[in-house]
Amino acid sequence: MNVIKRSLVEIQTLKSDLQFPEFPSPTRAPGKSIQVPLAWSIGDQLISGFTLSKGAQALSIPLSDTKSNVDYFYEVNPKLSVPQVCFLINSPVFSTLFDTDYFFSCWGKGQKENLSALATSLITFPMELLCWIHEKDVGVQDLAPLKAISFEQIHHFIESFLKTRPSKTEGVQILELVVDLTLLGTSQEEILSAMDGGAHIALKNLKVLRYPNTMDRDQDLKGKLLLSWPSNIQTKFQRRGDRAGFDLQLFVSSSTELKKTVNHLEKVVEEWKSLSQNR
Amino acid sequence: MEIPVPESLIQHFEKIFIDIKSLESPVAKRAIKYFPKEKIEIVHQEPWSEHTGELTASQFDRSKRNLFLTPFAGQFFKRCPGATQKKTLTCCNYYVLNLGSQCNMNCSYCYLQSYLNSPVMKIYTNIDQALNELGEMAEKHSELPYRVGTGEIIDSLSLDEITLYSRELIEFFRKYPRWTLEFKTKSNRINQFLDLAPAKNVVVSWSINPPEIINSEEHGTARFEERIYAAKKCAEAGFSLAFHIDPIIWHPNWKENYSYLVKILTKEFSPEQINVISLGTLRFQPEQRHMMRERFGLKSYVTSAEMFSSEGGKLRYDAALRNEMFQFVKNEFYATDSRWNIFLCMETPETWIQSFEKTPMQVPGLKDFFRPLPAIS
């Protein structure tokens, strides 16, 4: 690999057509001898450091051919988050600076089309949401629901979403549920009120809105918890994917006790059957 | 007899790309004869061949409007994907003969949305090689009742007026009476083979749903009445029939609508005319939901469905609802006649037992379908 010549230049002398905003926790090149500076550039294009004060300096890498530019860029920033890639590919000078296919072979392998499709809409979302996506390192596939919706349709929910302080898994699920409910025509008030609370509660409430028939069915089944189960059996309603039912925990210490429990359970079966017939 | 390519198909395609290697094939010659010159392009490689990875929604849409005629280099004859999930699903002995990929129709639930990654619809022009491959298998196992379908990753008949493959396949299967060929379709394109003497072992089957579902979810397909009419014509011409009520889709009037579907089928056809009726409920790979959402929005009975992950990884309705739907449709059939040969497609043993109170091997009319046969591909 070529040794890359670097120099420090004043950021005011650089062009800032390539939008690549700094996120709260910028990715750095781990284990590299060079410290990633607060700002840096390829040729006269500023790559990062928009909020830097006047007089700050950027590490400048000479402008080269579009493939080498990708190599240089990769050396100082081997890991990019989805919002960072989206900002880059939306910049007017992206394709003049970088070999597009080579760029996508370094970041977002096999996701070129999906990233390109997502890029235009994603950068219109508020910076707070983009920061969350960046910090949690949310992947392109996880953000797929956002391709079906515009920022205008869901901007009311972003603040509430962030207030739930979701983990990556919770957040991805909440985002998808919000997109689905919005596209289903659920009112804004209903969605917002479902998100009033922590992520765990929001997720539960949003599922009630998204799966109303199944929730009714589950509620109905939960009613069977009131059957006269033997006292040595712990009953717990559970939904496991496409199946809902009861998790039964039994404790016995003798064959007599087991027999007694089985007999009791047979009575529960009859009770259950008769309830079903009377519906 | 002159069998032209219908105007609707000519209009449907933006472009017909002909691989230079296929130029002398009968299919390419028909395309050149019937499609306008400006729609034909002779190519040395697959269009959009630089594409890698998954298709986006717009690429998938484009692939439906562009056809590539090319020879296939791989194995034509394969086991049905369901048969490879024997641990989780109870599946019949079904083999597929893939003579192309992608479909010119546009069902919201279509599994090709998560299955295909080719940016263009394909028809394989080397059917002679496919028949040679099949012939070798059939010669070795001519006494075993293998069932072969051509409608797994392409509709068996919707493009048949371009290829006329049905005619070659019917003549081929006539030589192997123990083997069964199934044309599975959502079209009504049957006239191109009805002049041939029927072969008892050729089944023409329709994937069918009530009119409300066809109208809302099965875009570009033959309407309900058109499919019934086409099936009647095939039955009159002496072909066996099958119906696949698959996917059964939950919607507010599902009972009323599926009851109507069963009423029409049982009124128009007898159990003797219908080789088999398969039932399946809506199911798809989890990743497919994103493409469906982008392509059809959420105002669809499919995209708005309440789906949950099931054993095997696919999203399905709640198991209790599936069971209720199977029971309902099955009982509607049996209320008219107990001889209907009904089975569940790609379902778990638990659902079989809940719906039929037995496994398929315990159902007299279904034993032959499910009896293990040697794997031959």
Query: If contacts are CB pairs under 8 Å, which of residues 301-360 in chain B contact chain A?
Result: 304, 306, 308-311, 316-322
Can you give the pLDDT at residue B352?
64
Whether residue B273 lies inside any domain: the answer is: yes
Please name the member of A101, A110, A211 whose beta carbon is closest to the beta carbon of B306.
A211
What are the contacts of A79-83 at 24+ separation with CB within 8 A?
A79/A27, A80/A27, A80/A107, A81/A23, A81/A27, A81/A133, A81/A134, A81/A137, A81/A138, A82/A115, A82/A118, A82/A122, A82/A133, A82/A134, A82/A138, A82/A139, A82/A140, A82/A143, A83/A23, A83/A122, A83/A123, A83/A130, A83/A133, A83/A134
Is the pLDDT score of A27 beyond 60?
A: no
pLDDT, residue B350, reads 67
Number of domains in chain A: 2
Report, as an integer, the average pLDDT of B235-250: 95
Alpha-carbon gap, residue A121 to A130, rounded angstroms: 12
- Binary contact (A242, B318; C-beta < 8 A): yes
Length, in residues, of chain A: 279
Kindly tell me if the per-residue pLDDT of B94 is higher than 90.
no
Q: Tell whether B58 is covered by a domain.
A: no
Whether the per-residue pLDDT at A17 is higher than 90: the answer is no
State which of A15-24, A266-275, B88-97 shows the largest mean pLDDT.
A266-275
CATH number of the domain enclosing B336: 3.80.30.30
Domain containing A227 equals: 216-277
> Above 90 in pLDDT, residue B247?
yes
Q: Which residues contact B248 (CB under 8 A, 6 or more apart)?
A: B209, B254, B258, B279, B280, B281, B282, B325, B326, B329
Among A49-53, B162-166, B225-229, B323-327, name the one with the lowest average pLDDT: A49-53
Residue B304 above 80 pLDDT? yes
Pair B288, B204: CB distance under 8 Å: no
The reply to whether B117 touches chain A by the CB within 8 Å rule is no
User: Quick check: B299 and A213 CB within 8 A?
Assistant: no
Which domain covers residue B314, as residue numbers? Answer: 73-116+127-370
- Does the pLDDT at position B91 exceed 80? no
| Domain annotation covers residue A74 | yes
- All residues of chain A having their beta carbon less than 8 Å from the beta carbon of residue B281 are none
Asked if residue B279 has pLDDT above 50, the reply is yes
pLDDT at position B218, please? Answer: 98
Residue B354 scores a pLDDT above 80: no
Closest C-alpha among B44, B25, B90, B10 to residue B369 = B90
Q: B53 lies in a domain?
A: no
Nearest beta carbon to residue B297 from set A183, A212, A214: A183
- pLDDT at residue A29, as a whole number: 37
Point out the domain boundary residue: A119, A139, A172.
A119
- A166 touches A199 (CB < 8 A): yes
The answer to whether position A209 is within a domain reads: no
**φ, ψ dihedrals at B2, nearest 5°:** -80, 120
Cα–Cα distance measured from residue A233 to residue A264, given in angstroms and rounded to the nearest whole number: 11
What is the dihedral sign for C-alpha A27, A33, A34, A35? positive
Q: Would you state the pLDDT for residue A39?
A: 67
- Which of chain A's residues have a Cβ under 8 Å away from the Cβ of B316? 242
Q: What mean pLDDT value characterizes chain B?
A: 91
The predicted pLDDT at position A32 comes to 38
How far is it, in rounded angstroms, from Cα A256 to Cα A265? Answer: 14
> Is residue B46 situated within a structural domain?
no
Shortest distance between the Cα of B245 and any Cα of chain A, in A, equals 21
pLDDT of residue B147: 87
Reply yes or no on whether the pLDDT at A51 is more than 70.
no
Cα–chain center distance at B41: 29
Q: What pLDDT, on the 0 to 100 scale, is given for residue A120?
A: 83
- Neighboring chain B residues of A242 at a CB cutoff of 8 Å: 308-310, 316-319, 322
Among A66, A87, A119, give the residue marking a domain's end. A119
Question: Which residues in chain A have their CB less than 8 angstroms from residue B322's CB?
Answer: 242
Q: Do A243 and B299 touch (CB under 8 A)?
A: no
Is there a contact between A241 and B53 if contact means CB atoms under 8 Å apart?
A: no
CB distance A87 to A80 below 8 Å: no
Which of A24-28, B134-138, B171-175, B309-313 bottoms out in mean pLDDT, i.e. has the lowest?
A: A24-28
Task: Output the pLDDT for position A31.
Answer: 39
Number of A:B CB contacts under 8 A?
A: 76
Q: Is the Cβ–Cβ distance between A199 and A165 less than 8 Å?
A: yes
Is A263 a domain residue? yes
Q: Which amino acid, residue B69?
A: L
Number of domains in chain B: 1
Name which of A181-190, B23-32, B194-203 the model is least confident about.
B194-203
Window 240-299 of B, Cβ < 8 Å to A? 250, 287, 290, 293-294, 297-299
Percent of chain B clearing pLDDT 70 (strictly above):
88
Q: Give the model's confidence band at A25: pLDDT under 50 very low, under 70 low, under 90 confident, else very high.
A: very low
Which of B:176-195 have CB within 8 Å of A? Answer: none
Task: Note whether A24 and A135 are within 8 A (CB).
Answer: yes
| Closest residue in chain A to residue B117, using alpha carbons only | A110
* Contact list, B113 vs chain A (CB under 8 Å): none
Place of tokens 């979403």: A161
Q: Which residue of B has its CA nearest to A207?
A: B306
Angle at B175 between CA B170 and CA B181, to 5 degrees: 45
CB spacing of A183 vs B299 below 8 angstroms = yes
Percent of chain A with pLDDT over 90: 46
- For chain A, give the mean pLDDT: 84
Task: Answer yes or no: do B290 and A242 touch at CB < 8 A.
Answer: no
Between A46 and A152, the more confident residue is A152
Whether residue A57 is predicted with pLDDT greater than 60 in this model: the reply is yes
Chain B contact set for A217 (CB, 8 A) = 318, 320-321
- Which residue of chain A has the CA closest to B59? A113
Strand B94-97 relative to strand B147-149: parallel, antiparallel, unpaired?
Answer: parallel
Backbone angles phi and psi of B374, in degrees to 5: -60, 140
Q: For every residue of B283-321, which 3-state class applies, written as one string?
A: EECCCHHHHHHHHHCCCCCCCCCCCEECCCCCEECCHHH
pLDDT at A33 (0 to 100)? 35
Q: What are phi and psi of B344, to 5 degrees?
A: -95, 135
Lowest mean pLDDT among A9-23, A116-130, B241-255: A9-23
Whole-complex ipTM: 0.86
Q: Do A183 and B310 touch (CB under 8 A)?
A: no
pLDDT of residue A124: 84
Q: Does the pLDDT at position A270 exceed 80?
A: yes
Region B232-244 average pLDDT: 95
Q: Could you give the residue ranges of the DSSP H alpha helices within chain A? A: 66-76, 82-90, 94-97, 100-106, 112-122, 127-135, 151-163, 168-184, 188-194, 199-210, 212-222, 255-278
Cis, bond preceding B247 (omega within 30 deg of 0): yes
Which of A59, A85, A119 delimits the end of a domain?
A119
**Can you tell me whether residue B199 is helix, strand or coil?**
coil
pLDDT tens column, A69-94: 888 888 877 888 898 888 888 877 88
Residue B377's pLDDT band, with cuts at 50, 70 and 90, is low
Among chain A residues, CA nearest to B301: A184
Using a CB-CB distance cutoff of 8 angstroms, which residues of chain B are in contact with residue A243?
A: 318-320
The beta-carbon neighbor of B294 closest among A110, A147, A180 is: A147
Considering only the beta carbons, identify the residue of A147, A148, A213 that sits closest to B306.
Answer: A213
| Residues B320, A239: C-beta atoms closer than 8 Å | no
Nearest CB to A242: which of B53, B290, B319?
B319
Is 90 exceeded by the pLDDT of residue B70? yes
Share of chain B above pLDDT 90, in %: 75
Interchain proximity A242–B308, CB inside 8 Å: yes
pLDDT-derived band of residue A201, with 50, 70 and 90 as boundaries? very high
**In this model, does residue A42 exceed pLDDT 80?**
no
Q: Mean per-residue pLDDT for B11-26? A: 98
Measure A230 CA to nearest chain B CA, in Å.
25
**Chain-chain contact of B298 with A141 (C-beta, under 8 angstroms):** no
- Asked if residue A153 is part of any domain, the answer here is no
pLDDT band at A47 (very low <50, low <70, confident <90, very high): confident
Pick the range with the lowest mean pLDDT from A99-108, A158-167, B94-103, B287-296: A99-108
Mean pLDDT over B145-159 rounds to 92
The answer to which of A111-125, A159-173, A192-206, B337-351 has the lowest mean pLDDT is: B337-351
Interface test with A, best of B306, B314, B346, B350 (most A CBs within 10 A): B306
Average pLDDT (A119-130) is 85
d(CA A48, CA B338) in angstroms, rounded, equals: 74
| Higher per-residue confidence, A190 vs A121 | A190
CB contact under 8 Å between B290 and A179, yes or no, is no
- The alpha carbon of residue B88 is apart from the nearest alpha carbon of chain A, in Å, by 14
Q: Which of A54-68, A124-138, A231-245, B279-293 has the lowest mean pLDDT?
A: A54-68
pLDDT of residue A34: 35
For residue A228 the two structure tokens come to 């006269």
The model's confidence at residue B92, banded by pLDDT at 50, 70 and 90, is low
Highest mean pLDDT among A8-17, B136-145, B186-195, B362-371: B186-195
Residue A255 has pLDDT above 90, yes or no: yes
Q: Does B59 touch chain A (CB under 8 A)?
A: yes
Q: Say yes or no to pLDDT of A131 above 70.
A: yes
